[in-house]
Amino acid sequence: MFEGATGALTNLLYDIALAAKIISGHVRRAGLTDIMGSVGQINVQGEDQQKLDVIANETIKNAVAHTGRVSVLASEEEEYPVTTNLGSGKGSYVLLFDPLDGSSNIDVNVSIGTIFSIYRTINKDCAGLTDCLQRGREQVAAGYVMYGSSTVMVYTTGHGVHGFTLDPSIGEFLLMNSDIKTPLSGKYYSVNESNFTRWSEGYRQTVLCFKGAGGEDNMRKNARYIGSLVADFHRNLLTGGVFMYPRDNKSPNGKLRLLYEANPLAFIVEQAGGAAHDGLNPILDIEPTELHQRTPLIIGSSEDVEFVRRKVAEVESAQ
């Protein structure tokens, strides 16, 4: 505990861990109870809202909204920020989250995840949208929960990255990896190659290098793409590699969300010795302007991320 600390952040992380245990229980029972599939509604993202999305979103809101610790929260499933503590907007922290990322994979039993990002409240009288639109560099904590073969929680508070595994027999997260460091370079590249024809030439040449066909054979890597961000990120964090969701002519701002997907994972990967950028600048330096804004994302091992940045710049400056 640091001098002057109240324990509020620690307790907020416990609140999130409690929500994760509840969500994990639902995910593990999906298929046995009527919670798989769609609710027949479209969410604010224009995506077919899955029942587990709604359950996860409500679970996290209920775990934090009345504790006095969170002033305002924002979720991928909520169009606007939600002022908490009976609408007072008072509380030390701001919580941004994607309650269940990759939920389209639920019905086929592929790993999915919760991603969260925590900031200090700026407007002490009544927090709101501006408290949510802070640069990623200002995060005080970030993490994710992956509901996979086991349920793992990985987080940072700016003092290293730490991984926990849920022991269902006692209902507690147990520390498994303290101070995770990601390799400087890895054997995997992760990208949806069906977008190849939509990319700029720089990204096409970069991926050809990863395939051993771009003239930089030392950059040849294995392709691994699950299509669930938390699962792809977690594998690359532990084994090394680079995940890419570049801008393309279908998604000119990229697909992934800055505030509750890219920023928290960027904070984690930088704390683990890796890097994250949007093709030009570090993710954590982006000044947010909208709650659900998208960003291109290149994230993972520092040497691999730098290779992507350098190769794309080299190819596109020569055009």
Interaction site with ligand P6P (CB under 6 A): 101-102, 104, 192, 227-229, 255
User: Is residue 185 within 8 Å of 240, Cβ to Cβ?
Assistant: yes
Nearer to ligand P6P, 11 or 192 (CB): 192
Minimum distance between the CB of residue 294 and ligand P6P, rounded to whole angstroms? Answer: 10
Minimum distance between the CB of residue 54 and ligand P6P, rounded to whole angstroms? Answer: 16
Give the C-alpha distances (Å, rounded to integers) separating 40 from 27, 36, 79, 98, 109. 19, 12, 18, 20, 20
Structure tokens, 87: 């609408």
Minimum distance between the CB of residue 170 and ligand P6P, rounded to whole angstroms? Answer: 30
Nearer to ligand P6P, 24 or 114 (CB): 114
Dihedral sign from CA coordinates of 191, 267, 166, 58: negative
Nearer to ligand P6P, 70 or 226 (CB): 226
Minimum distance between the CB of residue 250 and ligand P6P, rounded to whole angstroms? Answer: 9
The CA-CA-CA angle for residues 137, 182, 162, to 5°, reads 70
Nearer to ligand P6P, 151 or 157 (CB): 151
Residues 6+ apart with CB under 8 A from 55: 23, 26, 35
Half-sphere exposure of 151 (CA within 13 A, CB side): 23
Structure tokens, 122: 């700026």
Nearer to ligand P6P, 157 or 228 (CB): 228
Minimum distance between the CB of residue 159 and ligand P6P, rounded to whole angstroms? Answer: 27
Minimum distance between the CB of residue 51 and ligand P6P, rounded to whole angstroms? Answer: 16
Nearer to ligand P6P, 255 or 311 (CB): 255
**Amino acid letter at 246?**
P
Structure tokens, 170: 């006692």
What is the arrangement of strands in the sheet containing 151-156, beginning at the earlier edge strand? 82-83, 70-75, 93-101, 112-120, 141-147, 151-156, 161-167, 172-177
3-state helix, strand, coil in the chain (%, to 5): 35, 25, 40
Nearer to ligand P6P, 79 or 125 (CB): 79
Residues counted in the chain: 319
Minimum distance between the CB of residue 5 and ligand P6P, rounded to whole angstroms? Answer: 34
